[in-house]
Structures are given as structure tokens and as C-alpha cells.
Structure 1
């Protein structure tokens, strides 16, 4: 279940990035209004983490962030093996892993993460962009917090 979910999220992330950035030419246009002011595609190459934090020393940061993302994926996989959650937790883990791997591929291919979704509302102009992988990482992490594994006492017999 984790592998299938991760694969679906990864493919959705990569297909949407390719379609918007290359198919619609967002890399050349910069901005495409989809449903102003609520949704627009705004090209942003993210060399750091959320909101461009830690984007200095681009090449070093790139490899550190790849290592961190792969480390998180490995941590989640080990955690799942040691304390398997129920179905919602497994789905959340797959969503997080698929998103993390989607951003890793961007860093390997482009040297940065391709962010393109921008949402604003109610007179507030949001300057930040994100992508499907970012949504998946956030949703997957929230799901793992909300649907953790069962308590250890419920799985194992207590020793006398």
C-alpha cells in the first residue's frame, strides 16, 4: 500500500510539473493566470527549503537537501516496519514518501525544485509558490501525526 501510494503521488507530481513548466511553457512565461486571483501558475525555482529558506550555497544546499529528504524517507520506512500504523497511517506515509521523492528528482534534474502553484485571496497577495510534492509532504506528515502506530502495550504482551 505504501509503495503504490508513493508511486501514484510521485507520478502525479512529476506529470503536473512537466505539463505546467514545459507543456504550458511556464518556465518562459513566468506567470499563467488560471483563476485570478485565487489560482495562478507562477514559476519559482526553489533552491532551498520551504519559502526559499537556506537557498544560499546552491550546490551544497542541493546535495544536503537531497540527503535530508532521502534520510526522512528511510526514517519513515524504518518507523513503518517497527511500528506499523493502520491503513490511514500507511496511506499518509506513502503520500509523504512520494512527495519527498518528487522533490528529490527535481533537485537531481534541475538543481532546484520546480514550484508553480500560487494561491491568493481576499486582497492578500501570496508571493510564494508550491507544488504537488509540497502538498503531499505536508499532508503525509500531518497524517502520520494524526494516525500513528498503535501503542506498544497494545501490540506486545507484557513481561511479568
Structure 2
């Protein structure tokens, strides 16, 4: 990865983390905990929730002290591993996907370190869970990463069909 590519990825991560934190701060200051406000009636709502767990509130029942500590430690380890993998991945699509996961993980880690939980607020009518920008970025990055791992990174030399042509 060139220094130029690294700067673009780092800048993209910073912009996504800033957008996530700014949106959470806006929700914390404007929507009381537990309230729901229609953005597009029948489809999109802002529903202020605090999630002490991870995705879909898994591990939310961990003890008050240990939960945030363990989940923060896990997030930090994941961020370090993804940064390392991102730097060693030759394909831009793979690096971009990992950058998205890193940005989302940093966004939620920062929230958890400051408040002890993660602020969720996006509710769409066709999905039963409330989420935030960091969650969406992690999900998109994860989907792109899976697609990259399944279908990406093939060259003519490694693909037996095109190598025979």
C-alpha cells in the first residue's frame, strides 16, 4: 500500500468516525432516551436507545463493570488486527472493506469508552433492530469483505479457467 493510499484510507476512516460521533452527540442532546421521532413516517425513525452489548444487544447482560471493559478490549484487539490485515492486503477493495469495519469499530469503541454503552438511534420499518452509523458502516464493510474473500483477488494465473484460454 502506498503512502497516498494509506492517507486516503485514514482520511476516510476519520470522516466516518466523525460522522458517527457527531450523529450520536446530536441524538444524546436532542432526543430523550427511549423516545422515537419520525423522520419519514412509516419508514424511517430516530429512536434513542443505549446498547450495553454489541450487535442486536448480544452480551448486554454482562456485569456493569466487566461488560464495557471486555467489549472495549475485544474491539481494540479487532481494530489492531484489521489495521494489520488492511496494510497487508494487496487489493483496494479488500483494504476499503477493512477500513469500513475499522471506522465502525472505532466509532462504537469511542462511544463505549465515554458512556459505557453505544448510542443507537436509526430505526427502519423493515428491520427490527435500532442501529447507528458505525453499525451500518461495519455491516457494509463486512458484506464487501465477504464478497472480496469469496470472489475477489483472482488473477489470470490463479484462475485455472482463464489461465487455459
- TM-score range normalised by the length of the shorter chain: 0.7 to 0.9
2:26 pairs with 1:19: yes
For 2:96, the equivalent position in structure 1 comes to: 91
User: Root-mean-square deviation (CA), in Å?
Assistant: 2.1
CA shift, 1:20, in A, is 2.5
**Which region of structure 1 is more displaced relative to structure 2, 27-36 or 134-143?**
27-36
SS of equivalent to 1:9: helix
What CA distance in whole angstroms lies between the structure 1 residues aligned with 2:23 and 2:98? 21
User: Structure 1: any 5+ residue segments left out of the alignment?
Assistant: 155-160
Tell me the TM-score normalized by structure 2.
Answer: 0.80
| Matches for 1:136-147 after TM superposition, within 5 Å | 136-147=137-148
Instruction: Indicate yes or no: 2:80 matched with 1:74.
Output: yes
Query: Normalising by structure 1, what TM-score?
Result: 0.82
CA gap 1:150/1:114 in 2 versus in 1, 3 angstroms = same
C-alpha offsets along residues 92-135 of structure 1, whole Å, 9 cap, x if unaligned? 121111110010011111110000000114xxxx5521000000
Cα contact 1:44–1:114 (8 A) shared by 2: yes
- How many residues align? The count is 147
Which residue does 1:3 correspond to in 2? Answer: 10
- Pairwise CA distance, 1:27: 2.5
- Deviation of 1:28 (Å): 5.1
Q: What is the aligned counterpart of 1:114 among 97, 105, 119?
A: 119
Q: Distance in 1 between matches of 2:39 and 2:95?
A: 34
RCO greater where, 1 or 2, for CA within 8 Å and sep 6 or more?
1
Show structure 2 runs of 5+ residues with no match.
1-7, 159-165
* In 2: Cα distance, 1:65 partner to 1:39 partner: 29
Looking at structure 2, the residues matched to 48 and 130 of structure 1 have their Cα atoms a distance apart, in angstroms, of: 12
Q: Distance in 2 between matches of 1:129 and 1:29?
A: 11
Larger mean Cα displacement after TM superposition, 139-148 or 41-50: 139-148
